[in-house]
Amino acid sequence: MKGLSPLMATVMLIAFTLAVAALVGSWFTSLTKTETDVIESGAKEQINCSAGLLDIVEVVCKNSTEQLKIAIQNMGTIGLYDFSIVAKINNTFYTNSTVGPNSTTQLKPGQQYVLVYACNSTYCPGGAEVRTIRVSPGNCPQAWAEQDVKVTCAP
């Protein structure tokens, strides 16, 4: 019974080590590229969204139409869309998400739009007081606008 020569064992060990190193190196390179792309994409979005600026122009509450209307204006330099609204009505917070312009019908810089919050008599009875409105665009959540208001829902 013959054994493996020490020279042959060393060559095989080195070949095995190089093969494993090539596999791990390939995997690590792929992982690094993927993570770099994700971080780069997020950084670009952050930079683009820094040009987003939203203003709440007017708030109107009418119980007869069961609607809370919030007029907004895009004061920034990028399009905004998929808005969510948080309204403080009679000291209770209510949320409505993804209203208004969407990714194909963006609120362009300088444009105004009226967001309509379905506000039935349970949430906005006649005489209810709207105290705070916060509007956030879905594509740039950090471009939100919040305003303290004192609007009474008309019957």
- Comparing CA positions, the residue from 66, 67, 64, 131 lying closest to residue 93 is 131
Neighbours of 114 (CB within 10 A): 13
DSSP assignment, residue 76? S
Distance CA 139, CA 137 (A): 6
State residue 148's pLDDT score.
93
Distance CA 83, CA 10 (A): 66
Q: CA triplet 93, 99, 105: central angle to 5 degrees?
A: 155
Q: Are 139 and 80 in contact (CB under 8 A)?
A: yes
State residue 43's pLDDT score.
64
State residue 149's pLDDT score.
92
State residue 109's pLDDT score.
93
Question: Could you tell me the two tokens for 44?
Answer: 């670009």
Running along the chain, 155 residues long, what does each successive block of 10 average in pLDDT? 79 91 88 77 68 90 81 92 91 82 90 86 80 92 90 83
State residue 61's pLDDT score.
87
Neighbours of 96 (CB within 10 A): 18
Coil vs helix vs strand at 149:
strand
Neighbours of 73 (CB within 10 A): 18
State residue 44's pLDDT score.
65
- Comparing CA positions, the residue from 39, 70, 45, 37 lying closest to residue 146 is 70
In the CATH hierarchy, which fold is given to the domain comprising 54-152?
Immunoglobulin-like (2.60.40)
